[in-house]
Amino acid sequence: MADDPQKTASEFLDQSEIDKLLAQATVEAAPKSLLIRADGKRGDAKAVSKVEAYDFRNPVFLSEIELRRLRLLQEDFIRYLSARLSLFLRMEFGLKMAQLTTVTYSKFTESLPSPTHICLFKAEPLVGVGVLDINPRLALTIADRLLGGRGHSVKAERYLTEIEVALLEDVIVIVLEEWCGQWKSEQDLRPLIVGHENNGRFLQTSPKDAIVLALTLEVNFGDCSEQMQLGVPYYTIEPLVKKMQARRQKDSAVTTVEKRASWQKAYDHISMPVRAEWDAFELSLREVSSLRVGDVIEMPAELVQQTRVLLNGTPKFIGTVGLDTDRVAVQLTKKIPVNVEELSNGKSDGRKSS
């Protein structure tokens, strides 16, 4: 049976109405927002949570603040090392930090050039083996200087001989001593060279997925400009980093114990001038000059209750004057707040400076 041509267009839905119905159905079918925490417990969906991207292939175990503190340590290490090597080689040895980052051990070893000179070292009593990579051109230039040369850049790129490796060890020991010296506030370390290699592809001193703190240095020695890399496993320096964090927190902790004033025996014999005065009224110079012995000056009765007591020339209390047997006494009734401006502009006797 054919559709009735008399049906109006209002009985059919247009595309916009279909989209609205689909959107409404999606919202109704969607589950309510749910927050599941790391421990598996459900949390309040309305709670504000900070979501950050995390790269599981390149995990970072140091925060930005920790990396900044380590960067400051490395800058001191570079400055001291540059001065010490310049004195040892009797020639300017410029060092500059090119990069400080954390990478996996496999990526670090892959970044090592070939040929190169690699020194494997330990920092006793810490566990783990560090890697110091020196470009062969830089190593040969240093060896040439140690043999009495002028420090001109050696163009050849080859593996070092045993004699050149033995000469270079003196410089490597200085580098390792300065690196260990930067941690002296946390722990005393002793550098120990455990071997030399010329290719980083076959190194197996750490697991491939171990995190390494990699420091890249730009070296300017004479007309030779090359790089030197130092990589230390994170598990090696982790105890030092934790000690550094604990010390920082201890130094930055604000004590909440209120210090109470206590009397010291040394105060017993200190003398201080005390006087009482009134701010009665003003007289002209003529009236003052006409005063004679026996004249009576009338003062308001309430003035007795507004006696100011001065300690070492500084107003400290308000009191009331009275008689105690045969002596005139002042009963303290109120403390005068300290006015910083008056103290800064006044003299030792309480008078204002002109």
CATH number of the domain enclosing 192? 3.40.1550.10
Same domain, 246 and 326: no
Same domain, 231 and 309: no
Positions in the chain whose pLDDT score sits under 70 = 1-14, 23, 25-36, 38-40, 43-63, 251-259, 339-354
On whether residue 2 sits in a domain, the answer given is no
Among 207, 229, 250, the domain-final residue is: 250
22 is written with which tokens?
A: 């689909």
Same domain, 213 and 114: yes
Among 250, 278, 311, the domain-final residue is: 250
On whether residue 92 sits in a domain, the answer given is yes
On whether residue 20 sits in a domain, the answer given is no
Among 189, 215, 250, the domain-final residue is: 250
Same domain, 310 and 184: no
Same domain, 131 and 228: yes
Same domain, 227 and 346: no
On whether residue 298 sits in a domain, the answer given is no
Query: Looking at residue 121, what is its pLDDT?
Result: 94
DSSP 279: -
Query: Looking at residue 277, what is its pLDDT?
Result: 85
How buried is 161 (Cβ within 10 angstroms: 0-12 exposed, 13-18 middle, 19+ buried)? exposed
Same domain, 101 and 243: yes
Query: Looking at residue 94, what is its pLDDT?
Result: 93
**123-178 pLDDT tens trace:** 999 999 999 999 989 999 999 899 888 878 887 778 888 999 999 999 999 999 99
Same domain, 117 and 210: yes
Same domain, 163 and 246: yes
Same domain, 175 and 87: yes
On whether residue 45 sits in a domain, the answer given is no
On whether residue 154 sits in a domain, the answer given is yes
Mark out the alpha helices in the chain (DSSP H runs).
Answer: 15-29, 64-89, 105-110, 136-146, 162-181, 234-252, 285-289, 340-345
On whether residue 140 sits in a domain, the answer given is yes
Q: Report the domain count for the chain.
A: 2
Same domain, 246 and 314: no
Q: Give the C-alpha separation, 164 to 147, whole Å.
A: 10
On whether residue 39 sits in a domain, the answer given is no
Task: Domain of residue 179: give its range.
Answer: 64-250
With beta carbons less than 8 A apart as the criterion, state whether 332 and 316 touch: no
Same domain, 329 and 203: no
Q: Give the C-alpha separation, 19 to 23, whole Å.
A: 6
